[in-house]
Structure 1
């Protein structure tokens, strides 16, 4: 059971001005989770969680067997980007802040964070000759009215994403993910939103890292041009239109 959300309500966004204490506690818990990566057999517990979740799905059980036999820390990106159970079952407890399930995933969270950081440092080294290097990425997402109002009410404030966050270098891909054809459909409980994220001050290797996944993805030839931000990345809201 989550110590934060007893009703297990998914919460993608976290506003830091009013929820600063919750953010700090959650961030500290994630640090502890990573420090305890080698405590017990985390991988076996995650695999057991997978098998329970897909008990009646023979195809998924075969993929779980493959994961059990072939997973390695340096392939965390590959497994995260694969159209499988890993990403879905990982991000749900992160969004609900379900610490019990998060703790089971500690080995994969740690591996993914480490690989993101390593990739980010390599990216900085490659672009070190560019002064004031900046990057713009995009994210398409359908948000509830409540989440959208949260953004509108927090212009120039900080927000945090509770899970790993995927974006793309390709704006057209983000628009597809936002399902913008249904934009502002009054009958829909979800609204299509296109995020534009400007990344600045990338000379500092201690900045919250991100990774461009094209060369690491399980499908390196696809056109999604995915960018992955590490868990609990903080963003500043500049404009909501």
Structure 2
């Protein structure tokens, strides 16, 4: 597992002699931490006290800004500065000497619009990325490594999330988790209510690009690779993937008779240990275990790579090369028209994009890492294992039972059994998948050495399969024979 450093604590500090309560409420909605000061000395002392990982956006009046900006400008935690004043022309004269100043504003809404857009761009570029690495590419004679197995499992999980049927309760399951995590946050509770009332599939990208509970909790689940949490977000993951699939078709068409290669960039920082790991993995496949935000602007990505470098990180710039003539199973698209913030150059990749690590090159103080978009078919071992496991889980199609069988094969027996029991409650008693669900739950019990429970659910699977055989023209004899065989094994 490869993990990229994340400086995710973003703080707004507002220094002004006159504090507008309405603006203060709006700023509280933008980030989780807002500090308001009317005394310049206290404000400067507070900024100086910050540690690495705490990143500051400073809003300051023109009169105060003229004096304190030179004092704090070199502090690494200070990301950007916004001058909120009465006389724009006067303050623009001195502000132009400081690159970190992102604008001089006299209108509240103009300031908020710029601030929210910058927060969006910033959080997308510093968001921690986890990835699975598939080494020994193309060597089918070496033993299958744990890394390849992890790589395969995540690719299969994505397939299951996208193709398994969903019950109406899936939305409620997701929002219940979100409500619990933000129980004391009024702004996020309002967002959760709005999401439940207003979500339509065509607005999935818009919701993902808003800096709300949804983006934060979904990416936390993907970053930590908590399978149960990821599955709880399946409702939204499917909608977002499907919208990206639709946008991808039009995006690819827009390149007709133009360039056959697209290059996207992502600038960020990683630890020295991660850098050494990447160098060792040259030529390997890398699977991004989340939705990947990139830009077609080299300069935007470079700016983020070189911003606020700490003593324990190295700046890197990913160059992602995409052959537009080769079909891909992972959709990507320019989302500027659909985003909550109009970052014109943003290209978003769906879950589990696979790349080959082709080249690592140092140029000055910036390390350039070149990736080429690919597929799991680039590694024969992983493809063979994926095909075999897919057949074990579902020989013909994805059903409600598929995810539970997936968990059981991963030896996550408690989670598997819990999932199956939820299905038995939620599905109608005559649902055709119930025979398979009982059979697969019996398998989970058997593999966890709970043989009495296994026998109980195998017998229920047999009862249902015998009924299906009598009442249906479809041939269920093989399924029935399988269940009888499992019962026979338990009696041995």
TM above 0.5, yes or no, is: yes
1:236 to 356, 366, 381: 356
Correspondence 1:34 to 2:176: no
8 A contact 1:128–1:203 mirrored in 2: no
Measured in 2, the distance between the counterparts of 1:92 and 1:211 equals: 23
Q: Decide whether aligned partners of structure 1 residues 181 and 88 sit closer, same or farther in structure 2, where only a CA change above 3 A counts.
A: same
Unaligned segments of structure 2, at least 5 residues: 2-127, 136-144, 363-492
Unaligned segments of structure 1, at least 5 residues: 5-9
1:212 to 327, 334, 342: 334
1:107 to 231, 235, 243: 235
Moved more, 99-108 or 10-19: 10-19
Q: Decide whether aligned partners of structure 1 residues 101 and 198 sit closer, same or farther in structure 2, where only a CA change above 3 A counts.
A: same
Runs of 4+ aligned residues of structure 1 deviating over 6 Å after TM superposition are none
Correspondence 1:119 to 2:247: yes
8 A contact 1:36–1:106 mirrored in 2: no
In the TM superposition, residue 37 of structure 1 has moved relative to its aligned partner by 4.6
Correspondence 1:75-154 to 2 at 5 A: 75-130=203-258, 133-154=260-281
Show the counterpart of 1:13: 131
TM-score by length of 1: 0.85
Correspondence 1:196 to 2:316: no
Correspondence 1:177 to 2:304: yes
Measured in 2, the distance between the counterparts of 1:74 and 1:154 equals: 38
TM-score by length of 2: 0.43
Measured in 2, the distance between the counterparts of 1:152 and 1:81 equals: 32
Q: Decide whether aligned partners of structure 1 residues 207 and 25 sit closer, same or farther in structure 2, where only a CA change above 3 A counts.
A: closer
Moved more, 75-84 or 231-240: 231-240
In the TM superposition, residue 129 of structure 1 has moved relative to its aligned partner by 2.5
Q: Decide whether aligned partners of structure 1 residues 193 and 206 sit closer, same or farther in structure 2, where only a CA change above 3 A counts.
A: closer
Taking CA–CA contacts closer than 8 Å with sequence separation of 6 or more, which of the two structures ends up with the larger relative contact order?
1
After superposition, what is the alpha-carbon deviation per residue over 1:164-218, rounded to whole angstroms, capped at 9, x for unaligned? 110011223223433x1444x43x3x43322111212x12344532111111111
Please tell me the root mean square deviation across aligned C-alpha atoms, in Å.
Answer: 2.1
After superposition, what is the alpha-carbon deviation per residue over 1:214-241, rounded to whole angstroms, capped at 9, x for unaligned? 1111123x45x21111111111112223
In the TM superposition, residue 73 of structure 1 has moved relative to its aligned partner by 1.2
Which structure shows the bigger proportion of residues in helix conformation? 2
Local SS of the residue matching 1:135: strand
In the TM superposition, residue 112 of structure 1 has moved relative to its aligned partner by 1.1
Measured in 2, the distance between the counterparts of 1:69 and 1:177 equals: 36
Show the counterpart of 1:7: none
In the TM superposition, residue 127 of structure 1 has moved relative to its aligned partner by 2.0
Tell me the number of residue pairs that the alignment of Structure 1 and Structure 2 aligns.
Answer: 225
